[in-house]
Chains A and B, each alone.
Chain A
Amino acid sequence: MRISLSDVRKSFGSVEVVKGLNLDVEDGEFLVLLGASGSGKTTALRMIAGLETVSDGRIAIGGRDVTDVLPKYRDVAMVFQSYALYPHKTVFDNIAYPLAVRKRPKAEIEAAVKDVARQVQLDALLDRYPRQLSGGQRQRVALARAIIRRPAAFLMDEPLSNLDAKLRGHMRAELKHMQHKLGITTIYVTHDQIEAMTLAHRVAVLERGVLQQLDTPANIYNRPANLFVAGFIGSPPMNFLDGELVDGRFSAVAGSFGTTSRATRTQAVAGIRPEDCRVAAPSDGQIAGDVYATELIGDHTLVTCRCGGEMVTVKADKEFDRSVGEAIGVALAPRAIHLFDRQSGDRIV
């Protein structure tokens, strides 16, 4: 089912938390709402679920205006960050709850629960209680409870954040596979950009209640729409240099270089990702400085260079052996340079 938000706003008292959000989610799409805490992403999700009222704007699910409809009639299922399992019910009863509440016949419930439990590999644990399960198992129960109704959409509120790193990676793959198989529209909230990049068909980046960019992960990564998105996505983060742009030539304290742009801006910011930089001899690179720190990651080395007062991180290969304080040059691939207006933060085309 398609989900659309039209100019949705939400204020708590005098604080506006979501400002004029417009979003169209395609049927079967996995959309990730990505942002830091306080960005309004969770509030937006709860408004779609009906757990929060809308201060302004409309929300539609499957072409139906649900802005004034109670959550139970919206045909959406939610996976909470805390899983929200009922502690005194068995795993079976937890998963069966959506159907039991609607008074489905017992045989139908049993068949459905067993089927879903098999899908999330919980069939051996149906008689246990939540307190006897591990974090990952509880998360799968929450997932199963959401799946069993075959809702019009899944809403997920940071479901993996309470799991340890290794389990998180495993569950990411499971979630992606499951969503693909079921084909149900999914809106997923997270602050973790890796989850966003790996799981999403499209990512909506939110900051302080305003949508920054809505695009595929690749485009978000390769063509960030503004300074915020550029700095938020990517690890290690993009390098930024303040400077001036004249006819496409960028001049900063650390050096000047040409770009693929033809624009002129007195206050511009040039951004370049560490993997698009190369260490070079001091006279060879577009910018020059000295080595500030080196970190051997394993398969590569992160070299932080101090160039003209600003820090530039470069991904070098694992055999990098220059020492701290050595003069060094940084070569930049012109096609990989991103340019932003320093005032508005917007991308300069």
Chain B
Amino acid sequence: MRVERPSLLRRLIEPPNLETLAPIPKVATYAALIAWSLVVLMPLYWVVITSFKLPVEVDTGPYYLPFIDFRPSLDAWHYIFVDLGNDTLRPYANSVVVALASTTLAVLIGSLAAYALVRIRFKVKFASIVAFIALVIGVIVAVVELQVPWQLAVVIAIALFILSLGTIARRFRAGLGNNDIEFWIISNRIMPPVVAVLPIYIMFQQLHLLDTHIALISTYTAVNLPIVVWLTRDFFAGVPIDLEESAEMDGASKFRVFFTIALPLVRSGLVATFMLVLILAWNEYLLALFLSNANAQTMPLLVSAQNGTRGPQWWYMSVLIVIMVAPVVVVAMFLQKHIARGLLVGAVKG
């Protein structure tokens, strides 16, 4: 048998089989990937070591390695946790409470709605939509121009709406189906929060709910609903309907079927969605900026409030950033696979 020996150049560039890389491509690939890893990790590393620096060390120039370039100290940490104790703990607790509560609600409500949209046929009449919009405009005009107290206007509007559902809506056949409702819910993601935040601010102001947990939780829940519906919809669509049908034939109500059969089957997808929404809620900035102040302040706001007049005090800021970022990063690292799968499902189904 003649054994072939390709030239040295070829051996460096082309692999001998399909399961390995040739030397040069291998080195280049690893180099590029490691380079990007450094890009990813470098800011985080910098924040962490800065939290262990003294002010003088930060101001006099870059020191890179703890114990070698500079002596790490716990001064900044001490200040943040002990001296500022409650001022740090409160926003942190707020973040935890708001994120967990809103995520749980969003996943619950969203998956319920997604399930209904997948399994049940809906028809929303155009007439009722038009009536709704007209009534909202009516309420606004009444409150602003005619000085009607808004509580009265809202009550009258709701009454009129229910009335119209029963009469006008019944006359018109044309309506929107499941796909349209889904599209509407999901398309709310396109809306920039800044458009909605002003009226929401006014609404909470009138209800005297500004700067409370309730305000943030309810807003976050509403904002994240589209994502939950979008993702869980595909999970539910992938569950074979036979299991649910046999349960219904045995007499289970639709709610029971949802909680005892459908939900457990999409468990891993729900975990992924929960994690994704949790990250979004934890990191949220704009709405908290408008809607909260001293009481319900969340971590992102606390961090941005560190902008002192002389410039940010990087050492304190770093501690805050570390404790704000660390939990989510750690959680994400462990659940990366789940979250990635959730993202992929959403992207593939589009």
Taking the closest CB of chain A, its distance from the CB of B36, in whole angstroms, is 29
- Of B14-22, B64-72, B180-188, the one contacting chain A is B14-22
- Contact size class for B? 10 to 19
Q: Which residues of chain A have C-beta atoms less than 8 A from B171's C-beta?
A: none
Question: Could you say which of B4, B17, B18 has the most chain A C-beta atoms within 10 Å of its C-beta?
Answer: B17
Taking the closest CB of chain B, its distance from the CB of A300, in whole angstroms, is 44
Asked if A253 lies at the interface with its beta carbon under 8 angstroms from chain B, I say no
Q: Which residues of chain B have C-beta atoms less than 8 A from A63's C-beta?
A: 1-2
Asked if A310 lies at the interface with its beta carbon under 8 angstroms from chain B, I say no
Task: Evaluate contact between B14 and A53: CB separation under 8 angstroms.
Answer: no
- 1/0 per residue, CB under 8 A from B, across A28-66: the answer is 000000000000000000000011010000101001111
Taking the closest CB of chain A, its distance from the CB of B278, in whole angstroms, is 37
Task: Evaluate contact between A69 and B4: CB separation under 8 angstroms.
Answer: yes
Task: Evaluate contact between B18 and A71: CB separation under 8 angstroms.
Answer: yes
Q: Which residues of chain B have C-beta atoms less than 8 A from A60's C-beta?
A: 1
Taking the closest CB of chain B, its distance from the CB of A42, in whole angstroms, is 16
Task: Evaluate contact between A64 and B16: CB separation under 8 angstroms.
Answer: no
- 1/0 per residue, CB under 8 A from A, across B1-27: the answer is 111100000000011111100000000
CB < 8 Å: which of B2, B3, B17 contacts A70?
B17
Chain B 79-120 residues near chain A, CB threshold 8 A: none
Please give me the residue from chain A that is nearest to B2 by CB atom.
Answer: A64
**Chief secondary structure at chain B's binding surface:** loop
Taking the closest CB of chain A, its distance from the CB of B23, in whole angstroms, is 15
Q: Which residues of chain B have C-beta atoms less than 8 A from A58's C-beta?
A: 1
- Contact size class for A? 10 to 19
Q: Which residues of chain A have C-beta atoms less than 8 A from B15's C-beta?
A: 70
**Assembled-state Cα–Cα distance A63/B2 (Å):** 6
Asked if A68 lies at the interface with its beta carbon under 8 angstroms from chain B, I say yes
Q: Which residues of chain B have C-beta atoms less than 8 A from A64's C-beta?
A: 1-2, 4
Task: Evaluate contact between A51 and B18: CB separation under 8 angstroms.
Answer: yes
Task: Evaluate contact between B2 and A50: CB separation under 8 angstroms.
Answer: no
**Assembled-state Cα–Cα distance A223/B116 (Å):** 66
Please give me the residue from chain A that is nearest to B17 by CB atom.
Answer: A53
**Assembled-state Cα–Cα distance A66/B3 (Å):** 8
Task: Evaluate contact between B18 and A70: CB separation under 8 angstroms.
Answer: yes
Q: Which residues of chain B have C-beta atoms less than 8 A from A65's C-beta?
A: 1-4
**Assembled-state Cα–Cα distance A286/B3 (Å):** 60
Chain B 13-61 residues near chain A, CB threshold 8 A: 14-19
24 residue pairs bridging A and B, Cβ less than 8 Å apart: A50-B17, A50-B18, A51-B18, A53-B19, A58-B1, A60-B1, A63-B1, A63-B2, A64-B1, A64-B2, A64-B4, A65-B1, A65-B2, A65-B3, A65-B4, A66-B4, A68-B16, A69-B16, A70-B14, A70-B15, A70-B16, A70-B17, A70-B18, A71-B18
Nearest 8 Cβ contacts at the A-B interface? A68-B16, A65-B3, A65-B1, A53-B17, A60-B1, A64-B2, A53-B19, A63-B2
